Every structure is written in C-alpha cells, then in structure tokens.
C-alpha cells in the first residue's frame, strides 16, 4: 500500500514544482529585463553630448570647481564602477537631483506621474469600451457600411498627426464652442482646493465630494482623454476586427450555428471568448503606449504629466530627470507585460 501511494504524492507535487519554476522564470526575466533597461539608460547618459558637470557648475566655473564636481559625481572612475553606483542608486529609488529645481527626481516623478496615469487610463477605457464592440460588429458585418465606417475611423486614427487633432480640438471645442476646459488640469480658481491623496484629481475630488472641482477637472481632461482614446480605439478596433474575422471563419463557429445557437451566443460566447487572450496583449500595449507616448498631447494641452516633464528636462539638459523618467516608463512596460502574462494564464489554462 505504501508503495502504491508514492506516485500519487509525486503527481500532487508536480503542479507545485511547475508553479515554483514558473515564478522563478518570471522573476529571472524581470531581473534581466530591468538590468538591460538600466544599462541602456546608463549608456545613453554617457554618450549624450551634454557635460553633466558643466550643467551643474556653469561654463564660468573654475577648473578646480569643475574637477571637484567631476570627482563628486564619480565620473573619474571606470565605467563598470560608475554603472554599479548607478544601479545601486536606482534600486534604492535614487535618480539624483534635478538640475532645474534641485529636488530629488524621484519626488518630481511621483508628483507628475499621476497626471499621466489619470489621462492615459481614461483614454484607454474609451478605447476599450468603444473599440472592442466596433471591431466585433465590423467583423460580423464584414463588407457592410458599418465595416467601412469602422475601417475609415481606424485609418484616420492611424494617419492623422495627434498634435494636429489636439490643436483642432482646442480651437473648435474650447475656443469656438466653449464645451470643454482649456489647457491644464484645472482652472486657477480650483487649484489646491482639494487635498492631494492619490494625485488623481477626479478621484481626490470625488473622495471629498467636492463636485465643483470634479466637474471642472472633467471638463479639462475630457478632450485630451478623448484624443488619446480615439488613438487607442483605432488600434484596438482594427485588431479586434482581425481576430474576430479569423474566429468567425473557423469550423467550430459553423458547427455552433448548425446546432441552432443564436447569433449572439455564437459571437460573444464562442468567437469572442477565443480572442480574449489576444486582446489582453493589444490592450496592454495600447495602455503602455498611452502612458509613454502622450508627450505631444501633454505639451499641447499643458498637461503636467511625465511626458512633458521628460521633454522639459531634455530641452534643459537635465539628464538626471530624463534618465529617471525613462527608467520609470520602461518599468511600466515591464509591469504591464507581467500583468498581461498573468491574465493570459487566468483566461487560458493551457499557457500555464
């Protein structure tokens, strides 16, 4: 009996061992990716034609002052030693101080990132709730006027420069019609009225139930969020349509229709169910692109997010701020990839 029970215990421990190996593999991938990201940002900081010492001391500083700051920054040490110091500081959340305001870069990023997070999140939600149904309907009604409209909408979203759409949106909806708020997150009258808890103005104002601030913040964010949402919608609807067309031509869909299932059940319970895993990647990439690629939108709408922060720092030769922002953006991509991988395993047990 004891001999007969041993295989059972082995079979029970197999999933646990597989789960542990999977976690270790994921952690190893994260570590290698982060190390590569930090190495690239370190090299960028060294090859940029900007002297960090001159940016600190100024061009009129004496040679002795220059040498002292040069040694203080560790630039006199070998590159491998410099990279080790850089790696150690970043792992402890230290990106150095900004040359513009002398504050820690990590504090600046913590201050500006919620603005980008709020804008990109609302934008991707618009893209999901409009883009997914549009892509499904376009695939089901292939060749119809609905399909043609969906394809034109996606084509315009890909082709039109986002800065031009932003300027036209401000001109029409703010300058002429007055339907939305102007640049910035709030009117001056409402700034600092609501205590900052999360950095997300809509959420902070809702927590304290200050609906005047909430409405004002909504009028400011709706246009740039709709612009990013349209960009996201174009990508999501196009990919959803492509995935659905592939599934609707599969044999199991034909079989489901022959069995007498309603068209709604065939589309949403069978075909759409099989594209969820693919859509996870599409949505995660779209969200990451909005978080990282909303620079032009933030500049046009004077949105104080991480995109405009990195741009201002780059124009001012503030490399600590540029590299710190780049690392944060790269970390966002890594986290979203991990999150999409976890959702993969939840929706598709075969990937475990």
- Regions in the chain scoring below 70 on pLDDT: 1-16, 18-19, 22, 48-52, 54-58, 73, 293, 344-352
Question: 245, 142 in Cβ contact below 8 A?
Answer: yes
Q: Residue 125: its pLDDT value, please?
A: 93
Q: Residue 311: its pLDDT value, please?
A: 84
Residue 214, CA atoms < 13 Å, CB-side half-sphere: 10
| Integer Cα distance of 291 and 117 in angstroms | 7
Q: Give the domain ranges of the chain.
A: 18-91, 105-306
Give the end-to-end CA distance of the chain in Å, rounded to a whole number. Answer: 33
Q: Residue 1: its pLDDT value, please?
A: 46
Letter string b/e over residues 88-100, b meaning 16 or more CB atoms within 10 A of that residue's CB? eebeeeebbbbbe
Q: Residue 165: its pLDDT value, please?
A: 83
Q: Residue 153: its pLDDT value, please?
A: 83
pLDDT tens digit sequence for 35-44: 887 888 788 7
Model confidence, pTM: 0.80
pLDDT tens digit sequence for 51-83: 667 666 667 777 777 777 777 767 777 778 878
Q: Residue 122: its pLDDT value, please?
A: 92
**Does the domain made of 105-306 have the CATH classification 1.10.3720.10?**
yes
């Amino acid at each position: 009996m004891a001999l007969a029970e041993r295989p059972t215990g082995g079979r029970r421990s197999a999933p646990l061992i597989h789960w542990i190996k999977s976690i270790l593999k994921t952690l190893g991938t994260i570590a290698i990716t982060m190390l590569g990201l930090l190495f690239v940002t370190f090299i960028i900081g060294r090859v940029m034609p900007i002297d960090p010492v001159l940016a600190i001391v100024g061009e009129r500083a004496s040679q002795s002052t220059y040498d002292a700051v040069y040694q203080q920054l560790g630039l006199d040490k070998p590159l491998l030693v410099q990279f080790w110091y850089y790696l150690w500081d970043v792992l402890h959340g230290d990106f150095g101080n900004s040359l513009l305001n002398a504050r820690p870069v990590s504090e600046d990023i913590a201050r500006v990132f919620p603005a980008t997070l709020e804008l990109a999140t609302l934008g991707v939600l618009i893209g999901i709730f409009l883009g997914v149904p549009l892509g499904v309907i376009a695939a089901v009604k292939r060749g119809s006027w609905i399909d043609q409209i969906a394809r034109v909408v996606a084509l315009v979203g890909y082709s039109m420069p986002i800065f031009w759409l932003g300027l036209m949106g401000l001109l029409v909806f703010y300058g002429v019609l007055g339907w939305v708020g102007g640049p910035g997150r709030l009117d001056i009258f409402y700034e600092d009225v609501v205590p900052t808890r999360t950095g997300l103005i809509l959420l902070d104002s809702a927590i304290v139930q200050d609906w005047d601030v909430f409405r004002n913040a909504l009028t400011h964010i709706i246009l740039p969020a709709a612009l990013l949402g349209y960009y996201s919608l174009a990508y999501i609807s196009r990919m959803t349509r492509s995935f659905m067309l592939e599934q609707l031509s599969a044999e199991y869909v034909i079989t489901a229709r022959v069995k007498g299932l309603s068209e709604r059940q065939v589309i949403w319970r069978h075909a759409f169910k099989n594209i969820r895993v693919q859509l996870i990647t599409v949505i995660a990439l779209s969200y990451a692109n909005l978080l990282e690629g909303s620079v032009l939108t933030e500049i046009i709408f004077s949105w104080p997010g991480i995109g405009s922060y990195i741009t201002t720092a780059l124009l001012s030769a503030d490399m600590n701020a540029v590299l710190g922002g780049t690392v944060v953006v790269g970390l966002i991509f890594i986290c979203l990839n991990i999150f999409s991988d976890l959702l993969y395993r939840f929706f598709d047990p075969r990937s475990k």
